[in-house]
Amino acid sequence: MTAPAPATATAAPWDTLSGQYQLCPGTPRSIVGQRPVLGAGRLGRLLRGQRGEQVGRTLSSVFTLCAHAHRGTAELALAVAQGEAGAAPPSPPPLLLWVETARDHLRSIALDWPQRLPSLWAESPALDWLRDCPLPLATRARLDAAAAGAALDALRLWLEQRVLQQSVSSWLSAHRHPDALAHWCQAQAARLPPARCLAHWQPVAHSLRPELRGLNVLDADAVLQNSQLRQLAQTLTEQPDFAQQPTWLGQCFENGPWTRLRHRQTQTTAPHSAWTRLSTRWLELIEIAAASAPTQSLGRVALLATGAMKLGPGQALAWCEMARGLLLHWVQLDAQGAVQDYRVVAPTEWNFHPDGALARALATLPASDTLAASTLAAAFDPCVVCTIKRA
């Protein structure tokens, strides 16, 4: 979808397929809006009768901001839906997902963060820091595994030489803790725009502590994971508008890079804040670059989890941990192998649920506190236009 507009822009009607959200701090109905393409079976009707690569192309044109993740997840879902029951799903090489997720993080950091801090940027975002960056913000031709690996190696070298001025592994060792990262951002704010944004946000973001209830449907235990995903898929098929306002087990959950499966190996009891949610995006960009180093050990759990499972004849669920969180695709094929129905559950709909953690946090703010509302919007990072209502 289109990139988010400046936080104080005037809201438009909710009558386009792409949709938008408006945040209304200090009011019980603190999130207004939706993404119409996901409701009332519209996406299924749009894709009905399509096959193979045509499905991926259509989804890429609908979900332009995260097109690579939708295309790859669609390919997984279709391959498993067409395969034999019990057959192992295809295992796509992770490098393409890594490089495109890193690109999405760079795009959000470079373009969206400054838009939510207009007081820091008189005219336009400062992009000089991206000079010589090996990942252009605009996605070009799809890379093969070798080209993706080369791009990640180049990204790591660029970050080490031009941005961090030390090895990515050394930087991560020293700056994973929220306080250590805050000190680094303050020290680097004058020369590095992402650090300037984070340093500007840190005081208010540290004080904003929405309740954390992560969407933990993926699990290192394959049996438990399969059970949870089947339960979620059943709910998705029984509720036509589930994709627009998803809940699971009767509750609202949040979804973002801070809720990755791999993070549950090292979870602490430290409270999560808007600051930890914001900074996770910067940290994951560095982690992806570090994972490309020859000596890096990724451990038992994937850096970004992806997979698919067959649910019945011609029916499958596929998933992908992408830049904004966990993406789910469900497909039902007809007897001829064409799409009969198709549903997508994207991270934004979890996070911008009208009864979710973000909505509750916004409702407790003073109506005039647009800075805190804008900070929360940046932390939860919608993939559609998101504006803030002025008091």
Q: What residues contact residue 345 under an 8 Å CB cut-off, 6+ apart?
A: 236, 242, 243, 246, 327, 328, 330
Q: HSE-up of 380 (CA within 13 Å, CB side)?
A: 35
Q: Is the confidence at residue 312, as pLDDT, over 50?
A: yes
Q: Is the confidence at residue 85, as pLDDT, over 70?
A: no
> 327 and 345 in contact (C-beta within 8 Å)?
yes
pLDDT given at position 107: 93
Both tokens assigned to 357:
């953690």
DSSP 62-110: HS-TTHHHHHHHHHHHHHHHHS-TTPPPP---HHHHHHHHHHHHHHIII
DSSP 301-356: S-SS-EEEEEEETTEEEEEEEETTEEEEEEEEE-TTSSEEEEEEE-HHHHHT-TTS
pLDDT in tens, 245-275: 999 888 999 999 999 999 886 655 567 899 9
pLDDT given at position 13: 43
Q: Give the integer Cα–Cα distance in Å for 343 and 70.
A: 11
pLDDT in tens, 35-44: 888 888 899 9
CA-based nearest residue to 243, from 355, 329, 341, 310? 329
Q: Give the integer Cα–Cα distance in Å for 333 and 78.
A: 8
Q: Is the confidence at residue 316, as pLDDT, over 70?
A: yes
What amino acid occupies position 270?
A: A
pLDDT given at position 5: 43
Please state whether the predicted TM-score (pTM) of the whole model is above 0.85.
yes
3-class DSSP string for 103-118? HHHHHHHHHHHHHCCH
Q: Which residue's structure tokens are 């999405």?
A: 104
Q: Which residue's structure tokens are 């992560």?
A: 214
Q: Which of 10-24, 189-203, 243-257, 350-364 has the lowest mean pLDDT?
A: 10-24
> 218 and 326 in contact (C-beta within 8 Å)?
yes
Measure the CA angle with vertex 189, ends 183 and 194; round to 5°. Answer: 100
Q: Is the confidence at residue 211, as pLDDT, over 60?
A: yes
pLDDT given at position 362: 96
Q: How confident is the model at residue 27 (pLDDT cuts 50, 70, 90)?
A: very high
Q: Is the confidence at residue 11, as pLDDT, over 50?
A: no
Q: What residues contact residue 64 under an 8 Å CB cut-off, 6+ apart?
A: 1, 2
Q: What residues contact residue 140 under an 8 Å CB cut-off, 6+ apart?
A: none
Q: What residues contact residue 298 under an 8 Å CB cut-off, 6+ apart?
A: 291
> 339 and 55 in contact (C-beta within 8 Å)?
yes
Q: Which residue's structure tokens are 């933990």?
A: 216
